């Protein structure tokens, strides 16, 4: 008979990170306890993430996106950090966590008080002109879209109970009557300053993230399936440097084969346990 394999526990994770400098890499599973759904969790409905090619190549698709985002970004802006975000910020204050790399665009780490945060995919509060590169706030664009679409929110059935997707757009269907606005400076296409599927993370951001990983002793992955290369590359980089990699995620990830320790657990309760042991 083969002896039963003992699964790793939070106690094992505490032992792994104790006395070591930790950098956290977070994904959508980090924010589910705040009410923001993820794309690939075991209980998530099928979703089709935005692609760069769709957004830039189809005016009707852009209109549909901006209509959904015009409702969704306000819901995301009102979302509060959960216990996991607050625990990471506390671990940073305690000196255990040296920084956070996040694939999320929701700014919840910053809201929770984390100081050293790299938003790998950008964030929902900035808008970029694809022509002249001018950047503006989502609040300012919201005011322009309100003026161009008076009464739009009220015209959408169920707008007060809208479901919000991970990229800050709302799940609504009737958007044909929505009017999109262009860049005030050059008339170019406006796009959320978020890295879409099919688009690359800016090189300087990637370099800063590699430097953050290299400043640590342990890479702690939280709530990410590591499906996309933008996150998985940092796991591979850590392994090449001989660093332990701990993964906390409900469900399999592409990085499991590299993990020193893998916990099938939620982020909030795991991080809460770490704070009591830091």
11-20, 52-61, 166-175, 217-226: which has the minimum mean pLDDT? 166-175
Residue 276: CB atoms within 10 A of its CB come to 8
Report the Cα 83 to chain-centroid distance in Å. Answer: 16
Does the pLDDT value for residue 44 go beyond 80? Answer: no
Q: Do 228 and 268 fall within a single domain?
A: yes
Average pLDDT value for residue range 217-230: 95
Q: Do 217 and 263 fall within a single domain?
A: yes
Q: Do 70 and 103 fall within a single domain?
A: no
Q: Which of 194, 229, 244 is the last residue of a domain?
A: 194
Q: Do 217 and 278 fall within a single domain?
A: yes
Q: Do 238 and 276 fall within a single domain?
A: yes
**Average pLDDT score over the chain:** 89
Tell me how many domains the chain contains. Answer: 2
Does the pLDDT value for residue 83 go beyond 90? Answer: yes
Q: Do 209 and 228 fall within a single domain?
A: yes
Confidence class for position 165, pLDDT limits 50, 70, 90? low
CATH number for the domain spanning 54: value is 3.30.1600
CB half-sphere exposure, 204, CA atoms < 13 A: 1
Q: Do 256 and 141 fall within a single domain?
A: no
* Residues above pLDDT 70, as percent of the chain: 88
What is the three-class DSSP state of 181? coil
DSSP string over 80-122: PP-HHHHHHHHHHHTTSEEEEEE---S-HHHHHT-SSEEETTE
Binding-site sequence positions for Zn(2+):
129, 132, 183, 186
Q: Which of 194, 209, 242 is the last residue of a domain?
A: 194
State how far the Cα of 32 lies from the Cα of 130, in Å rounded to an integer.
31
Confidence class for position 241, pLDDT limits 50, 70, 90? very high
HEC string of 194-251 equals: ECCECCCCCHHHHHHHHHHHHCCCEEEEECCCCCCHHHHHHHHHHHHCCCCEEEECCC
Q: Do 215 and 271 fall within a single domain?
A: yes
Q: Do 20 and 158 fall within a single domain?
A: no
CB half-sphere exposure, 226, CA atoms < 13 A: 24
Active site residues: 121
- 231, 46 in Cβ contact below 8 A? no
Confidence class for position 75, pLDDT limits 50, 70, 90? confident
Q: Do 91 and 185 fall within a single domain?
A: no
pTM for the structure as a whole = 0.90
CATH number for the domain spanning 265: value is 3.40.50.1220
Name the residue range of residue 167's domain: 45-78+123-194
Average pLDDT value for residue range 136-156: 91
Q: Do 212 and 85 fall within a single domain?
A: yes
Q: Do 92 and 176 fall within a single domain?
A: no
Q: Which of 170, 194, 218 is the last residue of a domain?
A: 194
């Amino acid at each position: 008979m083969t002896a039963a394999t003992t699964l790793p526990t939070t106690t094992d994770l505490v032992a792994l990170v104790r006395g070591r400098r930790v950098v956290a890499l977070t994904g959508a599973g980090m924010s589910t306890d705040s009410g923001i759904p993820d794309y690939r969790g075991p209980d998530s409905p099928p979703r089709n993430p935005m692609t760069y090619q769709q957004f830039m190549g189809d005016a009707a698709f852009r209109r549909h996106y901006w209509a959904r985002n015009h409702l969704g970004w306000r819901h995301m802006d009102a979302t509060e950090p959960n216990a996991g975000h607050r625990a990471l910020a506390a671990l940073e204050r305690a000196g255990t966590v040296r920084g956070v790399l996040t694939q999320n665009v929701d700014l919840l780490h910053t809201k929770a008080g984390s100081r050293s945060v790299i938003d790998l995919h950008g964030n929902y509060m900035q808008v970029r002109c694809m022509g002249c590169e001018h950047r503006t706030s989502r609040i300012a664009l919201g005011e322009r879209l309100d003026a161009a679409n008076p009464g739009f929110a009220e015209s959408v059935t169920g707008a007060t109970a809208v479901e919000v997707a991970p990229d800050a757009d709302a799940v609504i269907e009737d958007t044909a009557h929505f009017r999109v606005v262009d860049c005030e400076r050059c008339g170019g296409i406006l796009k959320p300053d978020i890295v879409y599927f099919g688009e690359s993370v800016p090189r300087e951001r990637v370099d800063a993230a590699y430097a953050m990983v290299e400043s640590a002793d342990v890479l702690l992955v939280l709530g990410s399936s590591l499906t996309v290369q933008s996150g998985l590359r940092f796991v591979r980089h850590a392994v090449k440097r001989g660093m332990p990699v701990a993964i906390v995620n409900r469900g399999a990830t592409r990085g499991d084969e590299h993990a020193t320790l893998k916990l099938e657990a939620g982020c909030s309760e795991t991080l809460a346990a770490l704070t009591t042991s830091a």
